[in-house]
A and B are shown apart, each in its own frame.
Chain A
Amino acid sequence: MKPVNAMPAAFAASRPGRAQPFADVVAENLDAVYRYLVYLTGDRVAAEDLAAETFEKAYRGWRRFDPQRGAPRTWLCRIAHSVAVDWFRAEARRQRREDNYMRDAAMLEESVFGDGFSPDLDQALHRLTPAEREVVALRVLLELDGPSAARVLGISQTACSTRLSRALQRLEEEVGDVRR
């Protein structure tokens, strides 16, 4: 596993305000953003598209990025969150028109959230809402700190902590249910 969750050494060493080439940011954060989007959407294909869209947006706005206001990963996750919300809206409209039973069934056949996951865990993750999976991805997988995760989610730090606690609790319960 690549150390996508850990703060890159180069970035960690960089002082606030120090400029960084965009290519370096892509190399350091692509996996993390992709993983975050997979957790959020529960759909690898969609996550790929959304990750690409996220980085396109980030590329266009790179000159406006202010390192003093947060890490690039937080900024990218914020963009990804916005892109994913748009996708969810579109998806909700689409699902009203189409029956997507087949797609959901196909998705369940293979592990979505991580290679090497037990089917129980994967299925339990599927049962969580996107909001719950999102906070798990940000705090557990991407290892963002509380304030950064709260900023990405657009909620307070306390609300973020509560949401994480409930999400983990529910995930434990879902894993138990699936095993039974």
Chain B
Amino acid sequence: MSAGEFEGHESLIAQLRAGTLDAPDHLSRRVLALGPGKRARVPMSRRRKVFILVPVAATLAVAAAVINGAVNSGTNPKASGAAVDSRAVGHQPAQGAVGALGPTGAMGATGETGVTGATRPTGPTGSAALTGAHGPTSAYNGTQAAPLRSGVHSDKKALFGTADSLTIATDRLVHAVATLEVAVPSHRALTRATNNATEIVTQLGGYAQHVQYDASRTGPGNAFLDIRVPVGKAETAIRMLGGLGTLLSQSLTTKDLQQKSTKQTSQIGQLQRAIRIYEQALQSGTLSGSQRVDVQIRLAEAQHELAATHKAHGRTLASGRTAEIKLTLTSRNHHAVVAGPHKRGRLGRLLHNAAGFLALEAIVVLYILIVAVPIVLLGALLWWFTSGRRRRDERRLLASA
């Protein structure tokens, strides 16, 4: 206690302290009647609470992640992983199969994935069905497995080994556009695959309309081929091109051109009939001068329209005769996609899943913090205002009473 605060008031302080003022006995009895009371619980200090709660929370989070990882790593990775990343999981090895990849459908759809041998990989098992043959437009998207090969020059049977091939309607005029993404293990394989793709297409009666090859010594390599093949050979081409490496993804879009072709044919017939009528009218010689001019104009228009329709019809037929295949060959994701899962055992999957779960927990915590912090700040501000006001009122009350 600072003696300086009482300096000059020693006599007054002494007088104040000399007075006796004890609680009356009845007050003592009244208060002591409350009972002896329990011993005060010694509460934890804030620092102690933090030291305990933070490790406990961290342990719980890690334990939850490990349990999640353990539960998920025990299941078949083909089935469990499809919903996470169709591309990556699509190349998880099937149980008991060496050198074959278990396929999964895109969009998390899973299907039959059994593989019986290294030389007989399964085909796509996605739930999406090819319906383009009967509708105006349809699309197939899926991840199709292909045999794992060290190079492109594997046996030709393997190229055709992808069962359950995509089908394109042949009884109608259909325009088909297929997109394929195929991974190859190295730059050298990329070059070979590019050449092979051109060769395959040529053998099938098609051609590569556009070829783009990008590769550097250190970075990833890519080759993009815009291919045209006869529609009748499109399925074969897709199978063969998909077998040039590890098929990462493929999509097939078909557009029915039959109706368009029929309509154009009908229009051509109408125009031809109109032209004949106009010609007959002009030859009859019964038209007046102004009528003749009018008919001549109409005839010229009809002839012009007929020529345009002929051209359009020709384009439709040409479009229906050839299929577009956009092939992307890449050496970029090969190791990550194919080699990764092969090297990851159960422990690896457990750790991978646990890490993913921890990341999810962190995101949730971050989200909560982002949402909660403004609310807490607002509450603190409100509390600060309220308590300050209450304190001012209290001070005023005690100063004026």
Contact = CB atoms under 8 A, between A and B. Distances in A.
Contact of B19 (A23, A31, A115): A115
Given A51-B23, A139-B5, A141-B17, A63 B12 contact: no
Contacts, number: 149
Contact of B16 (A18, A40, A66, A140): A140
Given A52-B27, A140-B13, A171-B12, A23 B41 contact: no
Contacts of B5: 139, 161, 164-165
B289 interface: no
A140 B394 CA distance: 22
Interface string B355-392: 00000000000000000000000000000000000010
B30 to A, nearest CB: 5
B40 A52 contact: no
Contacts of B30: 52
A48 B401 contact: no
B43 A66 contact: yes
Interface in A117-150: 117-118, 121, 129-131, 134, 136, 139-141, 143, 145-146
Q: Which of B1, B13, B19, B24 has the most CB of A within 10 A?
A: B19
Given A19-B42, A23-B37, A92 B19 contact: no
Contacts of A114: 16, 18-21
Given A161-B5, A175-B12, A52 B31 contact: yes
A55 B9 contact: no
Given A21-B37, A26-B31, A30-B31, A68 B23 contact: no
Interface string B34-71: 11111111110100000000000000000000000000
B290 interface: no
B15 interface: yes
B194 to A, nearest CB: 76
The SS class assigned to the A binding surface is helix
Contact of A130 (B2, B18, B40, B398): B398
A104 B300 CA distance: 121
B17 A31 contact: no
Contacts of B28: 30
A172 B385 CA distance: 37
- Of listed A5, A91, A114, residue having the most chain B CB within 10 A: A114
B37 A22 contact: yes
Contacts of A56: 31, 34
Contacts of A117: 15, 19
B401 A129 contact: yes
B213 interface: no
A5 B39 contact: no
A89 B401 CA distance: 9
Nearest to B401: A130
Given A92-B397, A168-B9, A34 B21 contact: yes
Contact of A21 (B16, B19, B36, B395): B36
22 contacts: A5-B17, A19-B39, A19-B41, A22-B40, A30-B28, A31-B23, A34-B22, A34-B27, A59-B34, A59-B37, A63-B38, A63-B40, A66-B43, A85-B397, A92-B401, A114-B19, A116-B18, A139-B5, A140-B6, A161-B2, A165-B5, A172-B9
Given A22-B34, A31-B23, A168-B6, 14 more contacts: A21-B37, A22-B38, A52-B31, A59-B35, A114-B19, A114-B21, A115-B19, A116-B20, A131-B398, A131-B399, A140-B6, A140-B17, A168-B13, A172-B12
Those 10 A-B pairs whose CB atoms lie nearest each other, nearest first? A114-B19, A22-B37, A131-B398, A34-B23, A19-B39, A23-B36, A55-B31, A130-B398, A114-B21, A117-B19
Interface of A: 1-2, 4-5, 17-23, 26-27, 30-31, 33-35, 38, 40, 48, 51-52, 55-56, 59, 62-68, 85, 88-89, 91-92, 113-118, 121, 129-131, 134, 136, 139-141, 143, 145-146, 154, 161, 164-165, 168-169, 171-172, 175
